[in-house]
Amino acid sequence: MASRDGDRAAALSLQLSQAHQELRRQINEIRTALGHRRLGDDALVAHCLAFCAALTSHHQGEDDGMFSQLLRERPDLTRTVANLVEDHGMIASILSQVRELADRATESRGPALEAIGRELDGLAAIMESHFSYEERTISEALDDGTPDTDWPDMVFRFGMA
């Protein structure tokens, strides 16, 4: 049975990486669309808000589920988890700014969309650093056989299309 649990944990590590890849894909798609104005303004704003909701849901699932479970099993990860939660707070602040700009974009169009693009550029860089760190540190813990409870759906299935 321990081998099976270890296999499941390794699958969770892979799912974490895949969830991050999907979030990377989403933000890059929005940034490209903003840069080339491939979609109408309202569609861009809608995609942007959907991405903000997906990233928020992913991080809430980590904070409320995965990290709590990991710390029960691996208290040695306390500092790592604290760093990741701090990152989540910083990312949440940027997402709040993006949502505010998205609200303005429905009224003012161009200038707000350019500001959203700048915020998303910065967010993409922070996300990359955050995801890379998380995958190096947390994936290893998942691969070591940390059991899952009910948190995987919150972390891995955050409304991906």
d(CA 51, CA 67): 22
Question: What pLDDT does residue 12 have?
Answer: 82
Mean pLDDT of the chain: 84
Q: What is the pLDDT of residue 69?
A: 86
Looking at residues 12-32, what average pLDDT do you find? 93
Q: Which domains does the chain have, with CATH numbers?
A: 2-144 (1.20.120)
* Per-residue pLDDT at 126 exceeds 50: yes
| The pLDDT of residue 130 is above 80 | yes
| pLDDT value at residue 2 | 38
Asked whether the predicted pLDDT for residue 158 surpasses 80, the reply is no
Q: Residue 93: pLDDT above 90? A: yes
Q: How far apart are CA 69 and CA 119, in angstroms?
A: 32
CA distance 129 to 133: 6
- Any idea what DSSP says for residue 144? T
Query: Which one of 14-28, 105-119, 147-161 scores highest in mean pLDDT?
Result: 14-28
Tokens of 72: 């029960």
The structure's pTM equals 0.85
Residue 83 tokens, joined: 């760093």
Rounded to the nearest 5°, which phi and psi values hold at 157?
-120, 70
Question: Quick check: 53 pLDDT over 50?
Answer: yes
As a whole-number percent, the residues of the chain with pLDDT over 70 amount to 81
Per residue, the 3-state secondary structure of 31-90, as one string, reads: HHHHHHCCCCHHHHHHHHHHHHHHHHHHHHHHHHHHHHHHHHHCHHHHHHHHHHHHHHHH
Q: What do you get for the CA distance between the two ends of the chain, in Å?
A: 34
Nearest to 23 by CA among 49, 47, 70, 58: 58
The pLDDT confidence band at residue 147, using thresholds 50, 70 and 90, is low
Per-residue pLDDT, 24: 97
Would you say residue 129 has pLDDT above 70? yes
Both tokens assigned to 63: 């904070």
pLDDT at 140: 78
Specify the higher pLDDT residue, 12 or 53: 53
